Amino acid sequence: MERLMCILNELDDTIPWETEEKLIDDRILDSFKVIMLISEMENEFDIEISAEEIRPENLNSVRKMRTMIQRLQG
Amino acid sequence: MGYHTSVYLLLFLPAVLVIYQLVPQKKRWIVLLLSGYAFVWMISRKLIIYLWAATLVTYYTAVRLAWTKQIRAAAVRENPDEKQELCAQFGRKEKRILFFGIGLLLAGLGYVKYFNFFAANMNLFFETAGIDLQMGTGSLILPIGISFYTLQAIGYMTDVYWNKAEVSQHLGKTALFLGFFPQIMEGPISSYSQTADQLWTGQPVNVNDLSRGTVRILWGLFKKLVIADRLYIFVRAVFDHYEEYHGVLVAAAAVAYTIQLYMEFSGCMDIVAGSAILFGVSLPENFRQPFFAVNAADFWRRWHITLGTWFRTYVFYPVSVSGPVKKWIRISRKHLSVNTSRLGVLLLTLFPVWLCNGLWHGAKWKYIFYGMYYFVILFLEGALEPVYERVLKKHSILRKAFPFQFLRILKTWCIICTGELFFRADGFRIGVCMFRSMFREFSVHELWDGTLLNFGLDKADYLAVFVGCLVVAAVEFIKEKKLPGSEGIRKQKLPVRWAAYYALILAVVIFGAYGTGYQQVDLIYAGF
């Protein structure tokens, strides 16, 4: 999942991605960053992320993002 | 019967509370539901039928969705090799059910709220184009709360479709979720998972909730009666006779309306939240110190939060991952720069959200303009962000430095007040006229030469408004900066706590804008 960290750091290298657990709840990731992140994830991991997946349970931390990507990859 | 009236606060609410407590816990949901219906009936009479229809449509759609999902799961278990086909086939069916439910609800809302606007504009078009056709318009009355419970219902059905919410198999639970009386008139717009179970539980009334709820209600009354209802007098005087005023008076009216709207809407939300707390129900917050926002995007994350969250979840994100936006991202990444691609995404995603936001407020061009105003500002904020970053770096300006933050907050205030000027003006053209008149013969001394005393408010009124605003600003500052005391008045030492309670009660009783010279002011957002 180094690729995920690359995407995240490219998106914003000032956020301590590995330690943050409330990226959405604490509004660290705003709506536009979320869209750009989703688009990059789809491109990089060849997955399709629908609107129902855009929720804090899937995006609040790097660990949760990994779990979502693995689930969508089947 | 608004939430600030004595009928609600001294009769309706205490009566419901007593009956609620006397009834066995399992039946308390019935008391809440019937109270909700009584509340709507007292205001909208037979138009309560819209609420009942919305409840039935929502219940049926959600149950049907859940049932289809169950059949899909069973079919996949029986034929695991055909999982993909079955999922696609049932997925289409679920989408049809959801769209049918949403379509019915929007048709009801569209008919009562937008039909006359649509017909009037079509007639204008026919007239201009020389077509001999006329669409009939009627006197349609907006059922109370329809804009709020329709959004809640759509949110719930979509959450069931997305597997984000458990479906309610009991019609009464869906009915209560949509018809909880403190929420029905002005929101907050909650999701099913936020309130349905709390309402259904029928938690007994306890001293802690009684005290918490009462303090919250008093705080709301303070904002509404001491500040908002006084400012209403000045705001109405200027906006109703806009052609007589210009310069600083129009600017002052725009600022006064912005403060009035905030004090009124957030005050009403305090009364609503306080009422819900009495029944052990915690509602989502609608405001988070909006005047500390550093830009328009930040402002909308702090103002009418539940409406913003609704549009983000059910319009913005679905549009963001829709075919056209994905196609744009794919193509633009290949042929254009990252920034241009980003600008396209901003345009495609912001436009529908802000068009819907404007229209949601009402079927008038001024509301559409209000939505488009924020669309343009948010687009510019997003588009200029990289330039802004470069300028900050080049001049070594710290983003969090106080003078810089202060200037940003001041700029946001200008944006907010200008938007509210158009929002309050009696039509788009009048809004433009007032905006232009602000820059004519602007003489600041009119603020202190006694001119302001000609609008129905005397020095004592202005002093009450000023001190009231200072108190609210101080409380919001403590909350924003998380200073000692931000955990609330109830966590303070006994003498401080009781001094604050008495001050609040006395302020509402003595300085509230009622009696001779004042009039009871209806809740602004109840009209939406």
DSSP B303: S
Q: Which residue of A has its CA nearest to B341?
A: A36
Do B321 and A51 meet the contact criterion of CB atoms below 8 Å apart?
yes
A35/chain B closest Cα distance in angstroms: 7
* Residue closest to B284 by CA, chosen among B292, B293, B276: B276
Chain-chain contact of A27 with B162 (C-beta, under 8 angstroms): no
Q: Which residue of B has its CA nearest to A35?
A: B320
Give CA B119 to chain center in angstroms.
27
Chain-chain contact of A36 with B345 (C-beta, under 8 angstroms): yes
Chain-chain contact of A55 with B164 (C-beta, under 8 angstroms): yes
Predicted local confidence at residue B42, as pLDDT:
92
Higher-confidence residue of B504 and B306: namely B306
Number of other CB atoms surrounding residue B165 within 10 Å: 20
Q: Is the pLDDT of residue A27 over 70?
A: yes
CATH of the domain at A62: 1.10.1200.10
Do B190 and B306 meet the contact criterion of CB atoms below 8 Å apart?
yes
B162/chain A closest Cα distance in angstroms: 5
Chain-chain contact of A39 with B329 (C-beta, under 8 angstroms): yes
Exposure of B262 in the CB half-sphere (CA atoms within 13 A): 23
Q: Which tokens sit at B495? A: 């003498």
DSSP B168: P
Residue B517 — pLDDT band, cuts 50, 70, 90? low
Number of other CB atoms surrounding residue B387 within 10 Å: 10
Q: What are the tens digits of pLDDT across the range B390-438?
A: 888 888 888 788 888 899 999 999 999 999 999 999 999 999 999 999 9
B2: left (phi over 0), alpha (psi -120 to 50) or beta: beta
Q: Does B308 touch chain A (CB under 8 A)?
A: no
Exposure of B248 in the CB half-sphere (CA atoms within 13 A): 10
Q: Which tokens sit at A59? A: 């995006």
Residue B382 has its nearest CB partner, among A27, A32, A43, at A32
| Boundaries of every domain in chain B | 6-204, 206-283+444-528, 295-424
Q: Which residue of B has its CA nearest to A51?
A: B318
Percent of chain A scored above 70 by pLDDT?
Answer: 100
Exposure of B91 in the CB half-sphere (CA atoms within 13 A): 9
Residues of A in Cβ contact (< 8 Å) with B312? 31
Do B293 and B405 meet the contact criterion of CB atoms below 8 Å apart?
no
Highest mean pLDDT (candidates B137-141, B187-191, B439-443): B187-191
Percent of chain B scored above 90 by pLDDT?
Answer: 63
Predicted local confidence at residue B83, as pLDDT:
83
Residues of B in Cβ contact (< 8 Å) with A51? 162, 317-318, 320-321
Q: Is the pLDDT of residue B528 over 90?
A: no
Chain-chain contact of B345 with A35 (C-beta, under 8 angstroms): yes
Mutant choice from A31, A37, A43, A72 vs B, greatest count of B C-beta within 10 A:
A31
Cis amide prior to B188 (ω within 30 degrees)? yes
Residue B250 — pLDDT band, cuts 50, 70, 90? very high
Residue A49 has its nearest CB partner, among B321, B342, B346, at B321
* Residue closest to B235 by CA, chosen among B260, B261, B262, B253: B253
Average pLDDT over residues B368-386: 92
Residue A27 has its nearest CB partner, among B301, B321, B382, at B301
Q: Does B320 touch chain A (CB under 8 A)?
A: yes
Element housing B252 (H / E) = helix B248-278
Q: Does B415 touch chain A (CB under 8 A)?
A: no
Q: What are the tens digits of pLDDT across the range B79-90?
A: 888 888 888 899
Report the mean per-residue pLDDT for chain B.
Answer: 91
> A29 lies in which domain range?
2-9+18-73
B7/chain A closest Cα distance in angstroms: 39
Predicted local confidence at residue B150, as pLDDT:
96
Chain-chain contact of A32 with B162 (C-beta, under 8 angstroms): no
Give CA A58 to chain center in angstroms.
8
Give CA B328 to chain center in angstroms.
32
Chain-chain contact of A32 with B321 (C-beta, under 8 angstroms): no
Q: Does B342 touch chain A (CB under 8 A)?
A: yes
Give CA B59 to chain center in angstroms.
24
Distance CA B311, CA B352 (A): 10
Average pLDDT over residues B178-184: 95
Predicted local confidence at residue B469, as pLDDT:
96
Q: Which of A5-9, B197-201, B303-307 has the lowest mean pLDDT?
A: A5-9
Q: Which residue of A has its CA nearest to B161?
A: A52
Average pLDDT over residues A1-25: 87
Residues of B in Cβ contact (< 8 Å) with A35? 317, 320, 345, 349
Q: What are the tens digits of pLDDT across the range B21-67?
A: 999 999 999 999 999 999 999 998 899 999 999 999 999 999 999 99
Predicted local confidence at residue B387, as pLDDT:
85
B345/chain A closest Cα distance in angstroms: 9
Burial of B353 (0-12, 13-18, 19+ CB in 10 A): buried
Reduced to 3 states, what is the DSSP secondary structure of residue B5?
A: coil
In sequence order, what are the residues at sequence separation of 6 or more whose Cβ sits closer than 8 angstroms to the Cβ of residue B217? Answer: B9, B270, B271, B274, B275
Domain count, chain A: 1
The CA-based dihedral angle spanning residues B1, B2, B8, B13, taken in that order and rounded to the nearest 10 degrees: 120
Predicted local confidence at residue B79, as pLDDT:
87
Residue B320 has its nearest CB partner, among A27, A35, A52, at A35
Q: What are the tens digits of pLDDT across the range B85-118?
A: 888 899 999 999 999 999 999 999 999 999 888 8
Interface confidence, given as ipTM, is: 0.86
Q: What are the tens digits of pLDDT across the range B237-249?
A: 999 999 999 999 9
Q: Is the pLDDT of residue B490 over 80?
A: no
Distance CA B62, CA B158 (A): 9
Q: Is the pLDDT of residue A43 over 80?
A: yes
Measure the N-to-C terminal CA separation of chain A; round to a whole number of Å. 16
* CB under 8 A, 24+ apart: contacts of B404-411: B405/B294, B408/B294, B408/B295, B409/B291, B409/B292, B409/B293, B409/B294, B411/B295
Residues of B in Cβ contact (< 8 Å) with A31? 312, 316-317
